Amino acid sequence: MDYGWIMIVPVLGGALAGAAMLIWWERRLLGFWQDRLGPNRVGPFGLLQIVADIVKLFTKDDWVPPFADRVVFILAPTAIMAGMLMAFAVVPFGPGLHVIDLNIGLLFFLAMISLAVYGVLLGGLSSNNKYSLLGGLRSAAQMVTYEVFMGLSIMGVVLLTGSFNMSEIVRAQEDVWFVVPQILGFFVFLLAGIAESHRLPFDLPEAEHELAGGFHTEYSGMKFGLIMVGEYLGVILVSAMITTLFFGGWLAPGFLPPISILGPELEGVFWFSLKTTFFVCFFVLLRAGIPRPRYDQLMSLGWKILLPITLINLLATGAIALFIAEGG
């Protein structure tokens, strides 16, 4: 069954609501892990914190620095948001629950997420501020580095599935989740995903301790809000992709009986959400625990360790796939 265009509404709404909630959720989690409470004042459990934040952001002076490249400066946050939201179009939230079931879904995802990085880059450049410029430069370098093996790392999944179609990939995991054969690919994708969404410990374009906010130093008001939401969308997106590509997407763990009262779609959404949430929480845990590496360390990790690992993984997977195809 294909819900098609109707899915735009829940996906768009869900993604945005999720990103917004994540802002609160992350702060609560960080709070707990630091033996504090986190935001708990606005509404029950502080749930309305995000409403307060949004009200604040909307009422702030929407300021464009006189020295900035005005057009690009305004467009950049939009690009981040748009790229991230577009990528959600191909994510299968359950059997048939996707905006569009592209047969090049995975490539579309890669393309869109790269577009979002342009937003960061352009934002940094257009601000015309040395900290922003440094942030933008780092973002560019990080993008070039991590895009390469992000793409390569999931080629193993594609090889095993024989398709770029996301639903196909999920279905191909009915026997065994790809995390098992593709453990190396999973790790590389995880790291690349963090880097791609500029999350700690790979938030070097932002790096507030050294760059005062990096690429978004000059941003304020809702434009800053867009960048912020874009970042959390990225977190959700990468978590969703990890779930889809390596952890069986909407599929329940094989040893569990189906939850009949929900029906297959909702059951798919349930499992998908559960897994995604797990990875989202893992992202937050990384932020809570791991310090930011130096820039050269980030680069050498990418080029000297992750890239070879990816290539080896691809080679091995290819060999095995070839072997199976030949032999089987």
Partner 1 sequence: MWSHVRTLWEVLKHTFSRNETVQYPEEMPYLAPRYRGRIILTRDPDGEERCVACNLCAVVCPVDCIALEKTEGEDGRWLPEFFRINFSRCIMCGMCEEACPTYAIQLTPDFELCEFNRDNMVYEKEHLLIDGVGKYPGYSFWQIAGKTIAGKDKGEAQGECEPVDVKDLLP
Residues that bind partner 1 (CB under 8 A): 31-37, 285-286, 288-290
Nearest to partner 1 of 176, 285 (CB atom): 285
Query: Please, what is the minimum distance in Å from the beta carbon of residue 194 to partner 1?
Result: 13
Could you tell me the smallest distance in angstroms from the CB atom of residue 13 to partner 1? 30
Q: Which is nearer to partner 1, 40 or 78 (CB)?
A: 40
DSSP track, 233-271: HHHHHHHHHHHHHHS-TTPPPTTSPP-GGGHHHHHHHHH
Distance CA 79, CA 250 (A): 29
The whole-angstrom distance between residue 80's C-alpha and the CA centroid of its chain comes to 12
Q: How far is the CB of 285 from partner 1 (least distance, A)?
A: 6
Instruction: Please say which residue, 28 or 275, places its beta carbon nearer to partner 1.
Output: 28
Alpha carbon of 196 to those of 2, 17, 120, 139, 178: distances in Å?
30, 21, 11, 9, 21
Q: Which is nearer to partner 1, 39 or 268 (CB)?
A: 39
CA gap 115, 84 in Å, rounded = 8
Q: Which CB atom, from 31 or from 151, has the smaller least distance to partner 1?
A: 31
Q: Which is nearer to partner 1, 37 or 315 (CB)?
A: 37
Neighbours of 113 (CB within 10 A): 24
CB of 235 to partner 1, least distance (A): 17
Q: Is the peptide bond before 201 cis (omega within 30 degrees of 0)?
A: yes
Query: Please, what is the minimum distance in Å from the beta carbon of residue 315 to partner 1?
Result: 23
User: Packing angle between helix 105-126 and helix 130-153, nearest 10 degrees?
Assistant: 170
Our CA angle for 242, 78, 47, nearest 5°, is: 65
Closest distance between partner 1 and the C-beta of residue 286, in Å? Answer: 7
